[in-house]
Amino acid sequence: MEEGHEVVVIDNLSSGKVENLSKEVKFYRMDIQDRKLEACAKSKVNKIIFASSAAVYGEPQYLGISAIKRYQEK
């Protein structure tokens, strides 16, 4: 945003709060798997940043949490 980029946040707020977002971002309350992402492709959106809380993997046993490693351990 400091460099003039437009930031759009897509989140279903299952574990967060809209109050935690900057007032400068465009916010859409929806699930990341929603078909509206297809509209991004059709509209030629050229970059999407997917960010997820590492909390979904539980307490880390080491630094550098890997979903693949965690599933291999089970």
**Residue ranges of domains in the chain:** 8-73
Over residues 26-50, mean pLDDT: 81
pTM (2 decimals)? 0.49
Q: Say how many C-beta atoms besides its own lie within 10 A of residue 26's C-beta.
A: 10
The pair of three-digit structure tokens given for residue 56, joined into one six-digit string: 């979904």
Q: Which amino acid is at 73?
A: E
Predicted confidence (pLDDT) per residue in 44-72, tens digit: 888 877 776 666 666 667 666 555 544 45
CA separation for the pair 63, 31 (Å, rounded):
28
Q: How far apart are CA 69 and CA 65, in angstroms?
A: 8
Q: What is the pLDDT of residue 71?
A: 47
